[in-house]
């Protein structure tokens, strides 16, 4: 019997990768790590809004723009260096602790991940 082919798709940020590792950067930049989820939501709005309107905005540009929006909303100044540090940290996010075991289980039941 042939097994049907199934495609698995994952939302990477916040699902596989842990954004909480950015909290110290947000606490230093804004005085409050609780602003990190607001920044991420703004970034997604900018990115998805660009897609919906045919004006694609890459994630790093959306992240920078969202940082500036958050700074204005919170009455905070954020330097280009600090913004670069936060955006750069997005490419070094750790995985949530349960991710490796979950991916191993998927592999063990025959799921393949292309390289």
Close Cβ partners of 16 (under 8 Å, ≥ 6 residues apart):
10, 95, 96, 99
Is the model's pLDDT at 75 over the cut of 60?
Answer: yes
Is the model's pLDDT at 90 over the cut of 90?
Answer: yes
Q: What does pTM read for this prediction?
A: 0.83
What pLDDT is recorded for position 114? Answer: 61
Is the model's pLDDT at 115 over the cut of 70?
Answer: no
Q: Residue 93's closest CA among 34, 13, 28, 2?
A: 13
What pLDDT is recorded for position 50? Answer: 85
CA 55, 89, 21, 9 dihedral sign is positive
Look at the block and give the residue holding tokens 């954020």: 78
Helix extents (H) in the chain: 23-30, 36-52, 59-74, 80-89, 99-108
What pLDDT is recorded for position 10? Answer: 77
| CATH number at 19-94 | 1.10.150.240
What pLDDT is recorded for position 103? Answer: 87
């Amino acid at each position: 019997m042939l097994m049907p082919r199934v495609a698995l798709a994952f939302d990477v940020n916040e699902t596989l990768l842990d954004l909480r590792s950015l909290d110290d950067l947000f606490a230093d930049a804004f005085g409050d790590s609780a602003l990190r989820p607001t920044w991420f939501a703004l970034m997604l709005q900018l990115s998805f809004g660009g897609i919906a309107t045919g004006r694609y905005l890459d994630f790093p540009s959306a992240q920078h723009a969202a940082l500036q929006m958050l700074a204005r909303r919170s009455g905070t100044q954020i330097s280009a260096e600090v913004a670069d540090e936060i955006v750069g940290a997005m490419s070094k996010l750790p995985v949530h602790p349960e991710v490796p075991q979950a991916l191993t289980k998927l592999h063990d039941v025959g799921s393949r991940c292309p390289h």
